[in-house]
Structure 1
Amino acid sequence: MSIKESELILNPDGSIYHLNLKPEHIADTVVFVGDQDRVALVTKHFDSIEFETQKREFKTITGTLKGKRISVISTGIGTDNIDIVLNELDALVNIDFKTRTIKSKLKSLNLIRIGTSGALQPDIPIDSFLISAYGLDISGMLHAYQTQNISNPKMEAAFITHTNWDTNKAKPLIIEGSTALISKFESSNTIKGVTATANGFYGPQGRVLRLKLNDVNLNNKMDNFTFANTKITNLEMETAGIYGLAKLLGHHTISLNAIIANRAHGTFSKNPLQTIENLITYTLDRI
């Protein structure tokens, strides 16, 4: 059945609506960064550039590094943007734009996030690299989809009980990253843990300026949660959305986090740009 024009929206030049991309513009390996200015920090290492475009906060550059074709896309901030990026990327490789039908043979992309994050555990050093073994979605975005076959009910139930989760909030979901990619990128230089994904930077992550929080102890409860020797290690705004949608759509994904803050100690990196650059070179060396 043909997908309606209101559902699969294309620009007049045939590119997909938000990302402004055509199928030939995307490599099978895609690096996600949040900040559009960070795209150039990654692609400056490329041997050649073949394509570049930007629409709103979504900037894409595709090129080659040591003979490997790679695309780098800025996602902006939050799981709402992740919903756009993942669905449109999947459409680029798995929907025929001419017939508006799903292809009979589906493609799996390798999606690699290079992001920044704040650690929740006091023993996680500033400027370290953290791999998200799991994404804990407390944003609610994934509930728009059928997630019953991709989440971790036992860990979720334990988390809900431990935190006395407010039933007025979306039910937390926990999704595992790609074990194949994790094994490829982990080393003695990385830490693994559960990355919590919030739907905001201030109140949803426990920060207080002038507004009072619904649950002032939530961060502490997350700090103290343990399940099968796994702890919640850090807090940010994209990982669980990427993990959930990628798993639903059949793509492989990993989130690599530059730890530039430690919430337990209230400290921040003295040179966050260098930490990000170090994580970029580490990631590209392993791609």
Structure 2
Amino acid sequence: MHKLSESDLVINPDGSIYHLNLLPEDVAQTVITVGDPDRVSEISKLFDRVELKKGKREFITHTGYLGDKRITVLSTGIGTDNIDIVFNELDALVNIDFKTREIKSELTSLDIIRIGTSGAIQPDIDMGTILVSSHGLGLDTLMKYYKQRLSPEDQNILDAVNQHFADLPGIDPYFTSGSSKLLETIGKGLQRGITVTAPGFYAPQGRVVRAEGKVPDLIGKLNSFKYDGLRITNLEMETAGIYALASVLGHNALSVNAILASRVKFEFSNDPHAIVNKAIELVLERL
């Protein structure tokens, strides 16, 4: 078996993984990820009991029980650069023997549900909608560094995306489906669509404050894409990276989006906390 080097897999002196500061036994089979560290306690306060609280940098973790179900809630911070850290370290915690530094012969597949905020880019999606991502479309560069094997269906959709975006400078997206299992359990009956993950909040999402963007009418270009009944519904900053790395590493992932803004109506919710709580309660009820 291949032994991972100390520089490839960094383990802290107490036996925990480098960034997350977690031990293998700290992680449940079901993981909820959130961007905001403060949102971790908003979820764990609804548990029947909490057995663990740990934190390092922006990575806050609570593990506890909802009834008999053990759940880990973990904050990722913003962006797919953080998703790269979180997903590789979660996978290492369950699929690498930290004593031997070898990959386990039997691999564990986690169920990972993101509860995050997002802006709708279709006029018929109202603020307050809880939307699940059928697919993630990444405009960032994360998957330029990993080998990804797409299904024929996903490749066909990506080809259609590339054709649609052919006239946009510097756009080279990646594409991944969400977990069919979680879409049918957590996502059953909810509105679905392709979620675009941008590498920033302002110009990469078509916003103009003072700095001038290079991509004219980005929102219009995104919301005009159609393929076999699919459309792009919303914008945020983590989903595509979550879906792609989960697929590469053999985990199930689903992104649940609390729609706080309409990018086409230029509106933002006056009660975002209530919408996020609605998404949290829905996910916990279905778990």
- Is the contact between residue 31 and residue 113 of structure 1 (CA under 8 Å) also seen in structure 2? yes
1:215 shift after superposition: 1.0
Q: Unaligned 5+ residue runs, structure 2?
A: none
User: Secondary structure, in 3 states, of the residue corresponding to 1:82?
Assistant: helix
1:164 shift after superposition: 2.4
Match of 1:138 in 2: 139
Q: How many pairs align?
A: 285
Match of 1:217 in 2: 217
Whole-Å separation in 1 of the counterparts to 2:168 and 2:78? 25
Whole-Å separation in 2 of the counterparts to 1:167 and 1:279? 36
Whole-Å separation in 1 of the counterparts to 2:30 and 2:158? 31
- Is the contact between residue 32 and residue 112 of structure 1 (CA under 8 Å) also seen in structure 2? yes
Whole-Å separation in 1 of the counterparts to 2:244 and 2:234? 18
User: What letter corresponds to residue 162 of structure 2 in structure 1?
Assistant: I
Identity, in percent, stands at 49
1:56 shift after superposition: 0.3
Match of 1:72 in 2: 73
User: What letter corresponds to residue 186 of structure 1 in structure 2?
Assistant: G
1:2 aligns with 2:6: no
Q: Give the aligned CA root-mean-square deviation in angstroms.
A: 1.2
Whole-Å separation in 2 of the counterparts to 1:251 and 1:148? 14
1:38 aligns with 2:39: yes
User: Secondary structure, in 3 states, of the residue corresponding to 1:39?
Assistant: helix
Provide closer, same or farther for how the CA distance between residues 165 and 59 of structure 1 changes in structure 2, counting only shifts above 3 A: farther
User: Secondary structure, in 3 states, of the residue corresponding to 1:89?
Assistant: helix
Whole-Å separation in 2 of the counterparts to 1:24 and 1:150? 33
Match of 1:162 in 2: 164
User: What letter corresponds to residue 104 of structure 1 in structure 2?
Assistant: S
Whole-Å separation in 1 of the counterparts to 2:151 and 2:58? 29
1:153 shift after superposition: 2.1
Match of 1:272 in 2: 272
User: Secondary structure, in 3 states, of the residue corresponding to 1:136?
Assistant: strand
Match of 1:86 in 2: 87
User: Secondary structure, in 3 states, of the residue corresponding to 1:211?
Assistant: coil
- Report 1:84-233 matches (<5 A): 84-149=85-150, 152-166=154-168, 168-169=170-171, 171-188=172-189, 190-233=190-233
1:117 shift after superposition: 0.2
Q: Unaligned 5+ residue runs, structure 1?
A: none
1:278 shift after superposition: 1.0
Whole-Å separation in 2 of the counterparts to 1:8 and 1:148? 24
TM-score, normalised on structure 2?
A: 0.97
User: Secondary structure, in 3 states, of the residue corresponding to 2:260?
Assistant: strand
User: What letter corresponds to residue 263 of structure 2 in structure 1?
Assistant: R
Match of 2:282 in 1: 282
- Is the contact between residue 150 and residue 247 of structure 1 (CA under 8 Å) also seen in structure 2? no
User: What letter corresponds to residue 7 of structure 1 in structure 2?
Assistant: D
